[in-house]
Amino acid sequence: MRILPALFPALLASSLYAAPNPVTTPDLHTPDEKLPASAERAAADKQKNQQVKENVIEVTEEQLLADPALLANALDSAIINGDADAVAILLPIYRKLPADKQDKMLLRFGEAMQARSTGNLSLAIARFREMIAEDPSLQPVRLHLAMALMADHQDEAARGQLEKLRSDKLPDDIRKVVDDALAALRERRSWTFNAATYYRYDNNINGAPRERERQGGRGTWTFPEPKKAHGIHLDLSAERRLPAANGWYAQVEGSMNSDWYWNAHNYDDFRFRLGMGGGWQNARWDINLIPFVQRRIYGNQGYSTNMGADLSASYWITPKWRLSGFAQAMRKQHDRRDWLDGNQYYGSLSALYAPNARQYWFGGINAMRSQAQDQSDAFKRYGLNLGWGQEWGLGMSSRLVGTYARRNYDGLDFFGIKRKDNEYGVTLSLWNRNLYFWGITPRLTFSWDRTASNHF
């Protein structure tokens, strides 16, 4: 069987970080999509495929079964070349051979390759482990095992296999593959930082009613005029995942979201959050539970302290579809406005569809229950959102999101009104992937929101 010594060149011909099936689709906030092949590359590929077709010899299943050596050689070549489609055709035929005509190593390798191409990493890993158990000296198989373990987020197990490989005598090019993989594992343990800022304008920062005057039981109430505010919105966050065994990890995160107005400091709003928890992930699943504490500073004074926990899960149904769920339970505790104290619960369900590497669609539904001691401040809120991300030519990208929510308050307020709000929002972001400074890509973001209420 020539497959094992020949596999090292094949490994170099493929990308070290090629994602298994299902592929990893970029997240919604920072799309990192692949550019299409150039016209020259496409023409070269077409010519190459034509040359391959001219050299193809067609054989039937009966002919292959009648010549086990030819069938084994064909399957061997398909595995070496990384041709998953050919393996999918030849492997079932190879299984039909009598047991004494089958090469068990070749059969296992074919099954491992087919399993990985279909996203069944557990089976692929099991087959690679069986091969290593039978012959620990199979360096190419150990490297395939390490790559599969990395794809399945079993980082510590992958690190162990790679360190065993590095201790062996390896060709220089393969040693570089191993070193790069170990570097990638170290990178997974490092901190991830995100930052975003934009100009903010609010034409009614004080929430003044549409009506200037209102008749009440004790006379006429006069309300202030709407106040305009100009400022800067800033988001900062840091996150670190520490992989453990078998896909488990610990996670620590911190963030700050702020609105600072240079002409209305009484409405400056700073929100800080610290969370620590853990989760489990593989090539399809990512589930985590993160307890957190939040502190809010509003108008240069302490406003509230919230404590709770987030539970999130995402699952790649197919390489193009991802389903995500999120739930949060939180206790609100205010410094002075104790009538706002109470529990808050939130849940959402969303889906992402990526028909190709240049486009994705997403949408979801959500619900919130916010309790308070004063029933006029307690409410239920139901919302939905729909978004579209697109990569255009000349390096341009865009992301458009529309939202709608209905908020119903529990009780009557001071004026005897049970408030009902309809909330609308649209956000458009534009950026150029070729324009960046110190690793940061600036975005031009337009945001509009409106609340239509039965309240005055």
Q: Which residue has the tokens 């031009």?
A: 444
> In this structure, are strands 219-222 and 229-243 parallel, antiparallel, or unpaired?
unpaired
Residue that is last in its domain, among 143, 158, 188: 188
175-198 tens-digit pLDDT? 888 888 988 888 888 888 888 888
Spell out the residues 6+ positions from residue 333 whose beta carbon is closer than 8 angstroms to its own: 304, 305, 306, 307, 341
Statement to judge: residues 287 and 410 lie in one domain: yes
More confident residue, 245 or 414: 245
For residue 53, is it within any domain?
Answer: no
Amino acid (1-letter code) at residue 311: L
As for how many domains the chain has, the answer is 2
For residue 295, is it within any domain?
Answer: yes
Q: What is the mean pLDDT of the chain?
A: 84
Highest mean pLDDT among 17-31, 46-60, 352-366: 352-366
Lowest model confidence (mean pLDDT) among 5-19, 103-117, 213-227: 5-19
Per-residue pLDDT band at 212 (split at 50, 70, 90): low
**Element holding 176 (H helix, E strand):** helix 172-188
Instruction: Give the CATH number of the domain where residue 10 resides.
Output: 1.25.40.10
For residue 213, is it within any domain?
Answer: yes
Per-residue pLDDT band at 216 (split at 50, 70, 90): low
Statement to judge: residues 149 and 206 lie in one domain: no
Task: Report the sign of the C-alpha dihedral through residues 117, 363, 255, 292, in that order.
Answer: negative
Statement to judge: residues 253 and 158 lie in one domain: no
Instruction: Please give the average per-residue pLDDT across 271-287, as a whole number.
Output: 94
68 pLDDT exceeds 90? no
Statement to judge: residues 302 and 346 lie in one domain: yes
Per-residue pLDDT band at 65 (split at 50, 70, 90): confident
Residue that is last in its domain, among 188, 210, 239: 188
Instruction: Please give the average per-residue pLDDT across 405-424, as a whole number.
Output: 90
What is the predicted pLDDT for the residue at 366?
98
40-54 tens-digit pLDDT? 344 444 454 454 445
- For residue 147, give both structure tokens: 């790559």
Q: Which domain holds residue 197?
A: 192-453
Per-residue pLDDT band at 367 (split at 50, 70, 90): very high
**Element holding 133 (H helix, E strand):** helix 121-134
Quick count: other Cβ atoms within 10 Å of Cβ 316? 21
More confident residue, 268 or 14: 268
What is the predicted pLDDT for the residue at 117?
87
298-321 tens-digit pLDDT? 999 999 999 999 999 999 998 889
57 pLDDT exceeds 70? no
107-162 tens-digit pLDDT? 999 999 899 888 889 899 999 989 988 888 888 889 999 999 998 888 888 888 99
